[in-house]
């Protein structure tokens, strides 16, 4: 549970903004999206390799 302490002269909009930022930094939404669909470990490994190949091709490897 996130707790946000509101100061005396702070507006509710500002406190809400701090709450949203803190919530986003905890990574709850990303974790829910990741758990929504199961991916096999072999598929995850293949995606890591394909992403690495793409980055090497796109941004260049050793010159």
Average pLDDT for residues 2-27, to the nearest whole number?
Answer: 92
Residues constituting the chain: 63
15 neighbors 4 (Cβ within 8 angstroms): yes
pLDDT bin (cut points 50, 70, 90) of residue 2 is confident
pLDDT bin (cut points 50, 70, 90) of residue 48 is very high
The pLDDT of residue 63 is: 54
The pLDDT of residue 9 is: 92
The mean pLDDT value of the chain amounts to 91
**pTM of this prediction exceeds 0.85:** no
Residue 44 has pLDDT above 70, yes or no: yes
């Amino acid at each position: 549970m996130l707790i946000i302490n509101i100061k005396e002269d702070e507006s509710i909009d500002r406190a809400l903004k701090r709450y949203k930022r803190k919530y986003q930094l905890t990574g709850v939404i990303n974790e829910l999206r990741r758990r929504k669909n199961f991916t096999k470990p072999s598929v995850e490994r293949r995606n890591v390799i394909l992403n690495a190949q793409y980055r090497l091709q796109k941004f260049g490897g050793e010159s």
